[in-house]
Structure 1
């Protein structure tokens, strides 16, 4: 399928990868009867390998169909809908390190057998389970019999936020759930042979945790040695992100290269001490074998992550060339690594690490080995690598939604040198000694942890004063293609005509701003925040946020995880007003994170005494304001002190030429009756948010008749424990001919109430951005 020529290898690899990538944007998989076309396409590509106009489209389609085949196999292991929410008995093997918090212990498990009270079912393979109460000591490689409840992977679906379902699909997780308490749960085997690497990783993690005290960088040590980044705090990640050094704490080609390089040097040096041994096998070959074995072991400790596998394949190509005296060109080694990974795991192209990992190597090859001169002549050669990588990856980072640290090239010039020559080797030796010679290992690890702590402190200081470049919104396709071309042009060797066009093609990306509502319009987005509420209202020059979603015991909150990223995609730099309808956690959970990001925002609340930040003003019926031709009015609560809890929720009416929005928070029957008594027919609205997530305590008949909406929007969590929205409530609204939409099923919901009286939408995010792996 791929011609041996260097150029054809590159062209063919790019075509195949883009074919694989093309499938990942499809809402559904191609039908099974199209898959046999793969073989004729392979023959066609080989037959016309000297005709790129025929070969490359054929290879692209090969990539598309190959990814389809693998996706069909993956989707066949999805959990049957009939098993969702029921009591199941499973035999499982623990695959991963524990993710332990104060409230639960989470693992990945491989299911060997699954059954309910009636029969056995085919195994969905890997699942993610949480043990919430009385979790025993668990270890990777153990075999258990458990009583569980499972559901299909389902995440919050919003513009600009993490696609949790995609993340689980990439990791091969076909169901999530929790372990039920009971005598049924018991350990069957203490060690399953196929998980020796995972058990070793856990032993190292436990030994490190036993030595380092709170306040010492145990999370960073675990990240550098076994690739476990779960113990790094959000503040630590923020520092690495703001300084552009987050690649240093993810085991990748740099780390594999350090370990393999040391093994190559030491293996060859020891072998040279014996002339007899050197006469049998040359020392360089022994060094190559030592480097290959050590690289494989280190990649295994890191869980064989994509950057490690890529580095391992390229390392193998180079070292095998040394062993067999047949060198492999760097570009061909990169293409081999790329093809092998994509063939084995096509969904790896969905990972940001995939593009950053291969992109970094590619731009180094193009910018350094290709003879680029894109730097001032006074900058040393080492900084040239950092400059080329920073410039080459900048567009990729921006397009993937990452911030771009201005100080990254300078910081990495120092940090990469320190990590390469000192910190990574010292950390690995310390942990090795900890396992083999504990007394010496404790001393070394303590000293290493102190050094790492000093580096973190310096990086934190830099992060406080470093600027970030961010991209507002999602640019159109033509702009993305222009960025790709501009990057290639800028990295070309000096003297090639047209390189200046790279800067010109890059400028639209930096100047891009998303569209905003014209005067007199409101754009409404009800975000998918699970069991909670968050609504963004945009006018031409103002933004209002109605509720901030939930916060969970783990500290995860939708203000930081959902609302801020969404506002970034909209290019929002200021929130003019936040209304926290009541003090319940599913409405105020994200307010602290939002006030950190937008500190000058005005706060209103129906229960200001329960809002633990800022100086919120109590919302009271009669408050009115006009923004950009759109009228806002608080309808409830009145000044009475009797309104508490759900019934204290701020009810907001938004009037536009296209109709009225009525946002109702968590009000229940008593507050609904008060609104009907006070406003009567003036409650009529085009769009209503269903009160209290569709609970049985709300949505009375008189209130429904008074509002008489065209659309009723509901915000609930998928398969939530309350059973919201209640069936009887849905029937009452449908009896009023309201079209009902639920974020649990549709993802984020958006409407545009236009100045000409028309309504665009509602748009369902799970429809407009559907991918084949999404739960229907």
Structure 2
């Protein structure tokens, strides 16, 4: 309706108040329903992940909420209906996660497996081309030499039970040692392998391989020592929809291998196909140390670069207006299928796809609505993916860039006079100014992404490097050139195969530059810091607060200084919590001895009442990085960044090969070892001593009778060996350490065995409360005689095998704990001298008595 009135001799035409309000609301209302549905779905997934609600509970809750929504819709209660619908979506998220996580077919083979190896005969079919995993050439001197391997994707159909074949299901990868293997997708084979189920985390904060495998619904590990263990059955190949895609993957893999030098093959496959199996360990470590490892993870950056280049080229083709969008959509879907539809790529593909559809249909799209759709698609594809660091970092990074762009548009003002002056400048000045602006915006964007993702990076990886801010824009240029070179190489190979060798340098040069920049930075300008990272509750609060402030600043005009002040207060709370933890450690009145589960090896952490921390050994049989990661996770979980002393029991790699990695991440005051180890050290021990010298860490010797001065109420006494030692192997001269506090004793004997055992038991018996089993529970240590001498109440076995035989000691046998079954074992000696408190990480670990 129109109303006409005369006011001060002027004619005013006004809309009716009700019509005006409706028009104003229509103009301001923006439909972004997926922005609300995505968090609601996430809440349901998280609730089921942590509470593990029963299936019936989720079904009943979903039914009740849907009934409530229908009732609200019938009675026109919009607000109540909206709340009920969001809660129903959350219930659906919990239900979907529960089904994905817990519901398996009755014939699933992983349900009957254990973490212990067992020989097994299986039949099934190969689902993809085998991938070659070359033995690392730049391995650490502390690592064993490994053979070349193949990874064969495999789908199980039957398993042999005695002499009969029974139906079984499951998908996995077979790891086969060997140099040559000829298999194709769809081929039926019989496999003779060692089968296991992935083990869970045995130390707090450690990567849980069992959960990760369960999230991929692949809970079976198969290993073969020879290619002959895989025998074709002679049945015809089974073709599938994925065979053409797999053939293209294999074609690109072969062409990349032929076009680039051997040391760049892994980097080329990682950049374009996302396959990191063949990536050089030194290169991977350099990217991690410089904080640029996100460039190796196939993400939206790669797809964005390719999509932008493809769209600019498609615009020059004489075709209808909608053709570039359609062609780019087809190319995007093809690339997503080519790289196995990884979640970050799926997210980027949805963003690119909505832009393409908008171009084709002449419609604008809402970025945040599209981002919500991408998150929902990832959850529906695999609800456990939202707990993976790569998925989290990908979404946070793209959200940060989008918010930064919106804020820039909101606050940007254009001065007509300055614009006119800029247009009159000479072309070189224009280009220079444009380049300066682009570099400045790239650095600002890189800094913003680094700051917003830093809490997640610290929680998941415990490391960060400010080099990320400067290196990311530079490496982005080389990444763009590398992707262009790969696409150009593939195109030339298809059109004129003979010209492939001519264009190969166009690919090798940017890849080499990408590797060299990161490697040189890591070697000569190292700026990496390791930290325990913030608490999870603080990280969750940080991102909730950051999201609220981002909305208020971008949409409600909240002054930026208020947002920065709020974040500063939250940061102060985080630092305050760290200070409180440090103070609690300094005022501790108990001794804590933690036996870290490192497999077949030894690693014991000693925490003293005054906040000092000592380490007794750190090593394992096999990969030393596993020992480093296990101890690091325990230290970070306890908030420890400095070790006052490290004690090495003897010259065996499974007792010290994890220390080089620890020295990279934590500061160490002093190293102690026996005098015999410094005089007759082997090659690996000599290498370790040189590392100590290079880091200016003093090395001091200990012998029987020496005491370490740490705390007035704590006595650390060396019982063995003497300065001359005993005849025999290094094990016989293991450094035996006795820990006494308020009348309670813990004994750490290393790998003590005869004749060292006899030398120790000749001394006056010492009644101990807790004793670490010498030589990982081996019978060669004459354990019966040793235990009779020290009379322990608890015996801790630091081993990788759960099948350690407990020797017969007599009446009043001690309680046995094994790190292989119980995980990390913690011993607490309290200030009141009460019985030690012994606690394993896994509550269900058996308490075996002999």
Aligned to 2:777: 694
1: CA distance, partners of 2:551 / 2:54: 41
Taking the TM superposition and a 5 Å limit, the aligned residue runs for 1:305-324 are 305-324=342-361
Matched-pair contact (CA < 8 Å) for 1:483–1:506:
no
Taking the TM superposition and a 5 Å limit, the aligned residue runs for 1:244-255 are 244-255=291-302
Aligned to 2:246: 198
Aligned to 1:238: 285
Taking the TM superposition and a 5 Å limit, the aligned residue runs for 1:654-673 are 654-657=739-742, 659-668=744-753, 670-673=755-758
Moved more, 110-119 or 71-80: 71-80
Picking from 566, 576, 587, the partner of 1:518 is: 587
Picking from 471, 475, 487, the partner of 2:535 is: 475
Normalising to structure 1: TM-score of the pair? Answer: 0.86
Q: 1:563 to 1:445 in 2, by over 3 A?
A: farther
CA shift at 1:119, angstroms?
Answer: 3.6
2: CA distance, partners of 1:117 / 1:388: 61
**Pair 1:73-2:103 in alignment:** yes
1: CA distance, partners of 2:412 / 2:843: 46
CA shift at 1:141, angstroms?
Answer: 5.3
CA shift at 1:331, angstroms?
Answer: 0.9
2: CA distance, partners of 1:484 / 1:375: 27
Aligned to 1:534: 603
Picking from 351, 355, 361, the partner of 2:388 is: 351
Picking from 50, 53, 57, the partner of 2:79 is: 50
CA shift at 1:645, angstroms?
Answer: 3.6
Aligned to 1:100: 134
2: CA distance, partners of 1:174 / 1:251: 24
2: CA distance, partners of 1:169 / 1:710: 38
Aligned to 2:323: 286
- Unmatched segments (≥5 aa) in structure 2: 1-28, 73-77, 136-145, 415-435, 690-698, 846-850
Aligned to 1:115: 160
Q: 1:561 to 1:437 in 2, by over 3 A?
A: farther
Structure 1, residues 660-688: CA drift from partner, whole Å, max 9, x if none?
111122223643343222131x1x21211
CA shift at 1:113, angstroms?
Answer: 2.2
Matched-pair contact (CA < 8 Å) for 1:520–1:628:
no
CA shift at 1:227, angstroms?
Answer: 0.9
Matched-pair contact (CA < 8 Å) for 2:750–2:774:
yes
2: CA distance, partners of 1:561 / 1:376: 51
Taking the TM superposition and a 5 Å limit, the aligned residue runs for 1:184-583 are 185-188=230-233, 192-193=239-240, 194-214=242-262, 216-270=263-317, 272=318, 278=319, 282=320, 284-370=321-407, 380-420=440-480, 422-434=481-493, 436-463=495-522, 464-465=524-525, 467-468=527-528, 470-473=530-533, 475=535, 477=537, 480-482=540-542, 484-486=544-546, 488-489=548-549, 492-493=552-553, 495-496=557-558, 498-499=562-563, 500-510=565-575, 512-513=577-578, 514-515=581-582, 516=585, 518=587, 521-539=590-608, 540-550=610-620, 552=622, 557-583=625-651
2: CA distance, partners of 1:157 / 1:302: 33
Q: 1:301 to 1:8 in 2, by over 3 A?
A: closer
Aligned to 2:686: 612
2: CA distance, partners of 1:66 / 1:180: 39
CA shift at 1:45, angstroms?
Answer: 7.1
CA shift at 1:583, angstroms?
Answer: 3.0
Structure 1, residues 575-634: CA drift from partner, whole Å, max 9, x if none?
333233233332232133334444764141564513132446664222211213322112
Picking from 701, 706, 716, the partner of 2:789 is: 706
CA shift at 1:547, angstroms?
Answer: 1.8
CA shift at 1:53, angstroms?
Answer: 5.1
Pairwise CA RMSD: 3.4
2: CA distance, partners of 1:185 / 1:381: 55
Aligned to 1:625: 708
2: CA distance, partners of 1:373 / 1:74: 51
Matched-pair contact (CA < 8 Å) for 2:479–2:510:
no
Aligned to 1:774: none
CA shift at 1:359, angstroms?
Answer: 1.2
Matched-pair contact (CA < 8 Å) for 1:676–1:703:
yes
**Pair 1:13-2:92 in alignment:** no
Matched-pair contact (CA < 8 Å) for 1:131–1:179:
yes
What count of residue pairs does the alignment treat as equivalent? Answer: 741
2: CA distance, partners of 1:190 / 1:381: 54
Query: Greater relative contact order (Cα 8 A, min sep 6): structure 1 or 2?
Result: 1
Structure 1, residues 682-707: CA drift from partner, whole Å, max 9, x if none?
1x212111222222334633322332
Matched-pair contact (CA < 8 Å) for 1:243–1:466:
yes
**Pair 1:742-2:790 in alignment:** no
Structure 1, residues 699-720: CA drift from partner, whole Å, max 9, x if none?
633322332323221222256x
Matched residue of 1:144: which SS? strand
Normalising to structure 2: TM-score of the pair? Answer: 0.79
Matched-pair contact (CA < 8 Å) for 2:462–2:533:
no
Matched-pair contact (CA < 8 Å) for 2:176–2:227:
no
CA shift at 1:334, angstroms?
Answer: 0.9
**Pair 1:24-2:24 in alignment:** no
Matched-pair contact (CA < 8 Å) for 2:66–2:85:
no
Matched-pair contact (CA < 8 Å) for 2:32–2:368:
no
Matched-pair contact (CA < 8 Å) for 1:592–1:613:
no
Q: 1:64 to 1:699 in 2, by over 3 A?
A: farther
CA shift at 1:248, angstroms?
Answer: 1.9
1: CA distance, partners of 2:478 / 2:191: 47
Aligned to 2:427: none
Structure showing greater Rg: 2
Structure 1, residues 196-247: CA drift from partner, whole Å, max 9, x if none?
4334323433332334334x42222111121112222333223323433222
Aligned to 1:132: 177
CA shift at 1:501, angstroms?
Answer: 0.8
